């Protein structure tokens, strides 16, 4: 540690302090002394040196932005920079605009804490727990980015609300056949749509984005690589390409609608590509023609695909890969439909040991004897 006092023209004094900080790093500080004599300047510098050795240099306090001021940076430098899916980006922006900004927008980022979490939950009390949890996830992502970028020291952790698992609705085997018959009566394209969702498990966006070249009739399989979101084409929900074998009647239905209108698999009669509204209308017409209750619930067809596989004994891992579930827990929601799954599990306990093998207890007894 060294101190030098330097006199400059004009009569003012500068102190030059070199010191080792508490973390072991060497630090140099040159300051104008607030006194006139060299002896007083040295005494002042010695006090400053002791302070630095114990506490380190005082850091200038950062100006922490409010949430609403930081939001645009979060959108441009995280959401857009990382090219999040259009649907994900829209969800982030919507939750920020409708829920997070009205409740917490005027708070500085370093003021957002557990109490702020409760304020947001209270403001959204009319929404279901899943919606609130998704909104908290967006807020958490924003604050984590702020922490990673050095805007705040750390981000708080939020507690999710408990969600109640809803009952899965699907067409049973008889009703699905009635739906297929109804679709056949309406239009060949409607039949292809019902089978793409109900016998291949495609999501609505994946059906809209499906190209003619995605159907490999020689191998008998579909390649699912893209998804549509209000006219914007991106990756599938899990971000992965999957391949799904086609049933014979799906193969026949797709071969029956081959056309030269454009690259997409499905088009409306006016030559325009199909949309979510088109598919909903097609499903309602098929339900009506099949003598079923009219719901227009497109995703119910995907539930039907997974449920029928489980009911016919398909392994959970196979269903997960065919449906493109990112998490096996999603697939497990269908497995209670698997025939005799619980009984089969218990029966495993009644199986005899393999020939020539002994149980752990038997081996222990032999050792004692």
Task: Using alpha carbons only, give the angle 200, 328, 124 rounded to the nearest 5 degrees.
Answer: 100
Catalytic residue among 95, 184, 203, 308: 203
Contacts of 56 (CB under 8 A, 6+ apart): 21, 22, 23, 27
Q: Enumerate long-range contacts of 328-334, CB under 8 Å, 24 or more apart.
A: 331/306, 333/165, 333/168, 334/168, 334/306, 334/307, 334/309, 334/310
* Cα-to-chain-centroid distance, residue 61: 35
Task: Using alpha carbons only, give the angle 219, 221, 222 rounded to the nearest 5 degrees.
Answer: 140
299 is catalytic: yes
259 is catalytic: no
237 is catalytic: yes
Catalytic residue among 48, 204, 302, 303: 302
3-class SS of residue 5: strand
Catalytic residue among 106, 240, 299, 317: 299
Cα torsion at 169, 174, 180, 186 (round to 10°)?
-100
Which pair of structure tokens corresponds to residue 225? 């690589």
CB count within 10 Å of CB 297 equals: 15
160 is catalytic: no
Which pair of structure tokens corresponds to residue 218? 């020689």
CB count within 10 Å of CB 188 equals: 13
CB count within 10 Å of CB 12 equals: 12
What is the DSSP code (8-state) at residue 352? P
302 is catalytic: yes
Nearest to 206 by CA among 219, 193, 188, 191: 193
334 is catalytic: yes
CB 306 within 8 A of CB 235: no
What is the DSSP code (8-state) at residue 359? -
Catalytic residue among 18, 108, 237, 243: 237
| Residues forming the active site | 203, 237, 299, 302, 325, 334
């Amino acid at each position: 540690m060294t101190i030098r006092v330097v006199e400059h023209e004009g009569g003012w004094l500068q102190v030059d302090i070199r010191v080792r900080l508490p973390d072991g790093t060497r630090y140099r500080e040159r300051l104008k002394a607030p006194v006139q004599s060299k002896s007083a300047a040295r005494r002042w510098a010695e006090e400053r040196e002791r302070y630095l050795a114990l506490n380190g240099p005082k850091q200038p306090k950062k100006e922490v932005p409010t949430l609403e001021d930081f939001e645009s940076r979060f959108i441009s430098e995280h959401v857009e920079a990382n090219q999040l899916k259009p649907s994900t980006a829209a969800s982030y922006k919507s939750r920020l605009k409708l829920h997070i900004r009205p409740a917490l927008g005027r708070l500085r980022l370093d003021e957002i804490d557990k109490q702020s979490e409760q304020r947001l939950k209270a403001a959204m009390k009319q929404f279901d727990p899943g919606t609130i949890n998704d909104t908290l996830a967006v807020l958490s992502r924003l604050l984590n980015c702020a922490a990673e970028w050095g805007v705040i020291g750390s981000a708080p952790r939020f507690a999710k609300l408990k969600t109640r698992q809803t009952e899965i609705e699907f067409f049973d085997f008889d009703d699905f056949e009635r739906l297929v018959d109804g679709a056949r009566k309406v239009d060949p394209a409607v039949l292809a749509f019902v089978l793409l969702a109900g016998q291949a498990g495609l999501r609505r966006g994946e059906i809209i984005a499906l190209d003619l070249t995605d159907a490999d009739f020689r191998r008998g399989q579909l390649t699912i690589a893209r998804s549509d979101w209000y006219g914007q084409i991106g990756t599938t929900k899990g971000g992965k390409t999957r391949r799904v074998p086609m049933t014979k009647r799906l193969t026949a239905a797709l071969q029956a609608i081959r056309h030269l209108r454009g690259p997409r698999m499905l088009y409306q009669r006016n030559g325009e590509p199909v949309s979510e509204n088109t598919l909903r209308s097609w499903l309602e017409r098929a339900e009506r023609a099949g003598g079923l209750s009219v719901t227009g619930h497109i995703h119910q067809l995907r539930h039907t695909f997974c449920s029928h596989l489980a009911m016919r004994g398909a392994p959970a891992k196979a269903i997960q890969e065919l449906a493109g579930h990112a998490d096996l827990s999603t697939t497990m929601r269908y497995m209670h439909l698997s025939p005799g799954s619980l009984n089969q599990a218990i029966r495993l306990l009644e199986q005899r040991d393999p020939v020539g093998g002994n149980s752990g207890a038997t081996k222990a007894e032999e050792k004692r004897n």
